[in-house]
Amino acid sequence: MSRLQLVKSLFRDSSNIKLLTQVSNAPAQDLKNMRQAVKQNAGGSREDLRDKLKLMAQERRESISSLNDAWVAQMGNGAYAFREKMALFWHNHFACRSRAVSFIQQQNNTLRTHALGKFGDLLMAVSKDAAMLQFLNNQQNRKHSPNENFAREVMELFTLGRGQYTEQDIKEAARAFTGWGFNINGEFVFRENFHDDGLKTIFGKSGNYIGEDVIEMLLANPKTALHISTKIYRAFVNEKVDDAHVTAMAKRFYHSQYDIADLMQYVFTSDWFYHSINIGAQIKSPVEYLSGLQRTFNLNFVDKTPVLYTQKILGQVLFNPPNVAGWPGGKAWIDSSSLLSRLQLPSVLFRNETINISVKESGDVNEEKLVRKNKFEININWQDFAHSFESIPDSVLCKTLASYLLQVPINDATIKRIENKVSAPERTETVKQLCISLMSTLEYQVC
């Protein structure tokens, strides 16, 4: 298959959209409302109240975990992998937290649906999304008492990038977004009473602008195409940006009316995408690490504990970005502790070795205190896996597995040591042990 054909088939496969449906779309309530509701209904003792709240917090934790598990599983499924990778990119771009699990699911499905569509549609949908409106306080953005949070982030992080607007632009844009809110079902509502319909001056133009006008202005500015292209380049090609490549991407993106699929196809079919300088140029994010494991070994996490545990000790929990700017990524994934954890994980996951790394508590009483679980059960069909390497002579088995598992070359001396270390009576076990060792290398951490 030619490169172009391959990329085309990738996009064809990715046309399937599988929405997450773990959480019922029952009206979402934040904890404050829950507390009030419980107080009114309980009518009983403090203990009753406490127990009910505990139960609710636990239910929330469980449903957010199941959402997390389901997403990770879907990322590991080849047919959906690319769309899910894009959805993860947008989750980082439109980084958001919410207490309401149904809002989280809804937003996540929005990202998935538009992941390869038009960026303008995606931006509009996310801007009108309950979780985002809540996260960036637009529910409180009202005529006479504007809240600028959303207006600032939509410019700084979602579209133009820093330095492309004035403080006055933010103030005036915030007025245009007044009245944008959501109801308890997570539906967008325009609350006309709260909207400031006066004259606004944004980016040097004046009019009685509404929120949709501002979104349109942001899309009309080519700086948005440049900002998004830069982020895509950093996430999919190389953290070190090549100005010429990004400028070309931005130009194409802008002229295609922000067609994301077209942009990605352009990237994947460009010669520079395959230059050795761009292979293995990134440090795997913890979530990519997990989804990579699944794809490589076709494994399912039967016991779901390691899914969240791995995210926590490596520093990336889905639906919990550190702030609206998303995860810093790249080298920031790595410090002494997270690196040692990465080197230990393959043995822990596949060799049932004991792990003794405790997870930091966030301080939030409603957050899950992850029980320190010492061993995980993971089922991989090593026989099937080894079968694919049946015809490989023993002498080059380790090298062959290395080139399958690693994106960058590894020193022959390391291969030698791994070969010497592994001594198993039969082939399947040898393959397994070699894989575990190869995944415990520094080279395995890049993609």
Q: Choose the stretch contacting other proteins; rule: CB under 8 A; options: 189-197, 260-268, 300-308, 350-358.
A: 350-358
Asked if residue 343 binds other proteins (CB under 8 A), the reply is: yes
Whether the Cβ atoms of residue 238 and residue 278 lie closer than 8 Å to each other:
yes
Mark residues 125-164: x for contact with other proteins by CB under 8 A, - for none: ---------------------------x------------
As a dihedral over the C-alpha atoms of residue 159, residue 162, residue 166, residue 170, rounded to 10 degrees, the angle is: 50
Distances (CA, A) of 359 to 63, 125, 338, 366, 372: 20, 35, 11, 15, 8
Among 75, 219, 313, 401, binds other proteins (CB under 8 A): 313
Token pair of 251, please? Answer: 């130009």
Task: Select from 12, 16, 45, 364 the one that contacts other proteins (CB under 8 A).
Answer: 364
CB of 277 to other proteins, least distance (A): 8
Confirm or reject binding of residue 374 to other proteins (CB under 8 A): no
Of the pair 16, 356, the CB lying nearest other proteins is at: 356
Nearer CB in complex with other proteins: 369/387: 369
Based on the shown chain and the rule CB under 8 A, indicate whether residue 340 belongs to the binding site for other proteins.
yes
SS3 content of the chain, % helix, strand, coil (to 5): 60, 5, 35
Q: Which string of DSSP letters, residue by residue, matches 84-149?
A: HHHHHHHHHHT----S-HHHHHHHHHHHHHTTTSBHHHHHHHHHT-HHHHHHTTGGG-BTTB---H
What is the rounded end-to-end Cα distance, in angstroms, of the chain?
23
Q: Is 401 in the site for other proteins (CB under 8 A)?
A: no
Give whole-number Cα distances, 417 to 354, 384, 422, 425, in Å: 24, 26, 9, 18
Can residue 358 be called a binding residue for other proteins (CB under 8 A)? yes
Number of residues that bind other proteins (CB under 8 A): 64
- Region binding other proteins by CB under 8 A among candidate stretches 16-24, 73-81, 352-360, 382-390: 352-360
Binding flags for other proteins, 179-218, as an x/- string (CB under 8 A): ----------------------------------------
SS3 for 411? coil
DSSP tag of 205: E
Among 113, 247, 344, 400, binds other proteins (CB under 8 A): 344
Look at residues 397, 405, 412 and name the one whose alpha carbon lies nearest to residue 443: 405
Q: Which of 328, 354, 383, 396 binds other proteins (CB under 8 A)?
A: 328
Establish if 330 lies at the interface with other proteins (CB under 8 A). yes
- Under rule CB under 8 A, residue 286 binds other proteins: no
Could you tell me the sign of the dihedral formed by the alpha carbons of 189, 191, 197, 201, in that order? negative
Q: Which is nearer to other proteins, 9 or 358 (CB)?
A: 358
Grouping H, G, I as helix, E, B as strand and the rest as coil, residue 18 is coil
* Closest distance of CB 398 from other proteins, Å: 13
Q: Which of 55, 184, 199, 365 binds other proteins (CB under 8 A)?
A: 365
- Are the C-beta atoms of residues 354 and 375 closer than 8 Å to each other? yes
Binding mask 87-106 for other proteins (x = CB under 8 A): ----------x---------
Pick from 371, 304, 369, 368: nearest CA to 60: 368
What residues line the site for other proteins (CB under 8 A)? Answer: 35, 39, 46, 49-50, 53, 97, 152, 239-240, 277, 280-283, 313, 315, 320, 322-325, 328, 330-332, 334-341, 343-344, 356-366, 408-414, 417-418, 421, 437, 440-443, 445-446
